Amino acid sequence: MTQLTDRMQEVERRIAEACERSGRKRDDVHVIAVTKYVSLQTAEEAYRLGLHHLGENRWQDAQRKWEAISGPEAEGQNGQAVWHFIGSLQTNKAKDVIGKFTYIHSLDRLSLAQAINKQASQLAIKVPCFIQVNISGEDSKHGLPPEQVRDFLAELRNYPHLQPVGLMTMAPYETEAQATRPIFRALRQLRDELNEQVALEQPLTELSMGMSNDFEVAIEEGATWIRLGTILVGKEG
């Protein structure tokens, strides 16, 4: 617990300094604690210490944690944790995830939009989604090419139970975090261009970008959600 508290305090200091450097308000940057590499016990401890936004990328790995923290059997915790699905979501897993995870950070194809919309319709909910964009162009990365996002957004009008809220990207791992700056800047510029060019029900306000190795640069370039695993909650096993 002491190690986790220490990491939380150090991360908070670095976030505050990045906000100050870039003239941003600290409240504009939200932290997702990525618990996929830690035990249920550590995830529960992180939640108890105030990390209420939790991120997972596979339902198979997340299920026990979700049930313990937010499920029907959870002791006095129902409804307080906010779950973010940050990995590539298979269409046949949408039925497991939708209704449990508030945010989907990896919308990148119409077949997935259809699956999410179908399940959300049955639950009578609207799901906030980030469109995943492959800014770097790496073959190993999921996401739409930037030039396809405009048309994709237009198609999403056919799925009324989806609410596009912003864009998400993953930068290449760089030894020097500053090397990721063009990736994050390009995502911010793309979001701003889309808001000007596409008639949206609501503007895209969010940017999900930045992880343990590069979150400070992402904040300086406009991130509103940063996804922190190892540097925040650690890594086990």
Read off the pLDDT of residues 82-128 as tens digits, 9 standing for 90 and up: 999 999 999 999 999 999 999 999 999 999 999 999 999 999 999 99
Q: Which residue has the tokens 């996002």?
A: 149
Is pLDDT above 90 for 36?
yes
Within a 10 A sphere around the Cβ of 147, how many other Cβ atoms?
Answer: 8
Give the pLDDT of residue 77: 61
Per cent of the chain over pLDDT 70 is 97
Is pLDDT above 70 for 76?
no
| CB-count exposure of residue 139 (10 Å: 0-12, 13-18, 19+) | exposed
Give the pLDDT of residue 141: 86
How does the average pLDDT of the chain come out, rounded? 95
